[in-house]
A and B are shown apart, each in its own frame.
Chain A
Amino acid sequence: MRQVKDGDLRKLAVLFERHHRALFHFFLRCTSDRALSEDLVQEVYFRILRYRHTFNPQHAFTAWMYQIARNAQMDQLQKRRPEVTPDEEMASASSRVDDVLSRDQEVALLRRAMELLPEDKREVLVLSRYQELKYEEIAQILGIEVGAVKVRVFRAVRALGDLYTELAGAKA
């Protein structure tokens, strides 16, 4: 990234090849929207180019990239997401659960439970569980202390467990 910042824009291709899959998976797990996730990957790399002068080489590139990713996602979701009440979300999720239970009940419930998590909890869970980031990096991305990251991750898993139990109970 240092070379990109210094003007060798071709080197962004190396960063793209190294990180775009993980970035796409981050967006897909957070939004469950494939087309939106592909757009967001594009948007992140455009912003990296556009704001390359603000990169601080003393910090990890991945942390900076995920900070940009969060901002891009927030911008998109504010624009696209209609207001939906939790009850409506739960009813909608339950109906979709019916469609996929025959395939793999447990995984389907878990996926729906993830979708129903509040955005902040889902985000910290995805960052810690799937993105192979150190807690120090997650702290940098979220702008909080490492201790606070640990608390948030546990609370997110607990909330996920509650939703999972609720969905499983509704299905039983």
Chain B
Amino acid sequence: MTTSCEQIQQKLPEYWAGIISVNEHRAVDTHLAACQACRNESAELGRLWANLDRVPVEAPGPAVRTRFYDMLDAYRSGADEKAPAAAPSWWSRWFGQPLPVFAGALAMLAVGFFAARSFYSPPVVKPETSEIAQLRGEVNSIREMLQQQSASERLKGVTFASRADKSDRDVVFALLDTVKSDPNVNVRLAAVDAFKRFGTDHAARRQLLEAIKLQESPMVQIAIIELLVDLNDQSAVKALNAMTQDDKLQKAVQERARWAVTELH
């Protein structure tokens, strides 16, 4: 039985690559020995096939890895927030970081928190006065901490803010300022997480929604979108819908906005 040229041609790439079975290899050899046209074409294209190895290709840049881990981190924290038994997402995010500065910040935070509690609770003061003083002191401390030069100090401020009275608008808007303008993406992300506690404030939620467009980081944008879903903010649907078509936003952000619209409907 004679194998047709067309049947042989289909086998040639595997033949050149050396991944063909022994029987098929023999069949190709037999055909090429008998058919000059196929022999010439196989020789010419086989050389081209081999030379494709010589076409260099660049390695991906280091930013690819960084962006991936940032994205995974942000996504995981979003997923953790949805799981009722999960730890607070800012905690898991920072606890997972290898950087000693964040471990240090957490340690200092724990020490600072307990020290602050004991400082603001002297037994000789009436309970009411003590609470007010403590709250005022904490709000002032939060404001100051959110304006520190050190990112880890600002991070501590965010953490204190997440424990503040949820009706305290000073804290709410200090957090919003952090979300909008803190130079460190990690502090902004932590501020978004902390904001969850203050989600009942409609005006603040509107500002949070507007903050999406001010962000350069798609991670923060996605974190805000996911928070709006967690807060079940139906009034955000129109703006989120517009984001799905906004070419200034990254594709991943548009997709998350699309997902959010579906979740909120």
Q: Are A and B a genuine interacting pair, yes or no?
A: yes
- Smallest CB-CB separation from B80: which chain A residue? A9
In the docked arrangement, what's the CA distance between A79 and B249, Å? 13
B57 engages A29 (CB within 8 Å)? yes
A150 with B10, Cβ < 8 A, contacts A16-B68, A24-B64 known: yes
Cross-chain contact A107 with B49 (CB below 8 angstroms): no
Interface of A is mostly: helix
Instruction: Name, among B63, B71, B247, the residue most crowded by chain A CB atoms within 10 Å (CB to CB).
Output: B71
Q: Are A38 and B61 in contact (CB under 8 A)?
A: yes
A147: chain B residues within 8 A (beta carbon) = 10
Contact B48 A28 (CB under 8 A): no
Which residues of B lie under 8 Å from residue A41 when comparing CB positions? 60, 64, 68
Among B9, B49, B60, contact of A38 (Cβ-Cβ < 8 Å): B60
Find chain A residues with CB under 8 A from B72 CB. Answer: 9-10, 12-13, 16, 45, 49
User: Which of B129-137, B149-157, B251-259 contacts its partner?
Assistant: B251-259
Specify which chain B residues have a CB less than 8 angstroms from the CB of A39 in the assembled complex.
251
A89 to chain B, nearest CB (A): 18
Chain A contacts of B68 at CB under 8 A? 13, 16, 20, 41-42, 45
Check if B101 is an interface residue, CB within 8 A of chain A: no
**Are the CB atoms of B45 and A45 closer together than 8 Å?**
no
Q: Is the CB of A46 within 8 A of B71?
A: yes
A9 with B79, Cβ < 8 A, contacts A34-B58, A50-B255 known: yes
Bound form: Cα–Cα A157–B143 in Å: 66
A128 to B11 alpha-carbon distance, docked (Å): 13
Are B251 and A110 interface neighbours, CB within 8 A?
A: no
Q: How far is the CA of A38 from the CA of B59 in the complex (A)?
A: 10
Interchain CB contact under 8 A, A10 and B76: yes
**Any B CB within 8 A of the CB of A164:** yes
- Contact call A49/B54, Cβ cutoff below 8 A: no
* A42 and B64 contact, CB distance less than 8 A: yes
- The distance from the CB of B125 to the nearest CB of chain A, in whole angstroms, is 48
Tell yes or no: B13 within 8 A of A by CB: yes
Task: Let me know if B64 and A110 touch, CB within 8 A.
Answer: no
Contacts of B211 in A (CB 8 A): none
Q: How large is the interface on B (under 10, 10 to 19, 20 to 34, 35 or more residues)?
A: 35 or more
Task: Give every chain B residue within 8 A of A141 (Cβ-Cβ).
Answer: none
Roughly how many angstroms separate A16 CA and B67 CA in the complex, as a whole number?
12
Chain B 13-26, CB within 8 Å of chain A: the 1/0 string? 11001000000000
Chain A contacts for B113, CB-based, 8 A: none
**Contact call B71/A45, Cβ cutoff below 8 A:** yes
The contact string, 1 if C-beta is below 8 Å from chain B, for chain A 139-172, is 0000000010011011001101100100000000
Given contacts A13-B72, A157-B45, contact A110 B13 (CB under 8 A): no
Is the Cβ of B251 less than 8 Å from the Cβ of A75? yes
| Bound complex: CA A127 to CA B259 (Å) | 31
Taking the complex as formed, is B55 at the interface, i.e. its CB lies under 8 A from any CB of chain A? yes
**What residues of A have a CB within 8 angstroms of the CB of B10 in the complex?**
147, 150-151, 154
10 sample A-B contacts, Cβ–Cβ < 8 Å, listed by A number: A38-B61, A49-B72, A49-B75, A79-B247, A106-B51, A110-B54, A114-B55, A130-B57, A154-B13, A157-B12
Question: 9 additional contacts, CB 8 Å, given A50-B259, A154-B13?
Answer: A16-B68, A24-B64, A29-B57, A45-B71, A111-B55, A114-B55, A154-B10, A157-B49, A161-B44
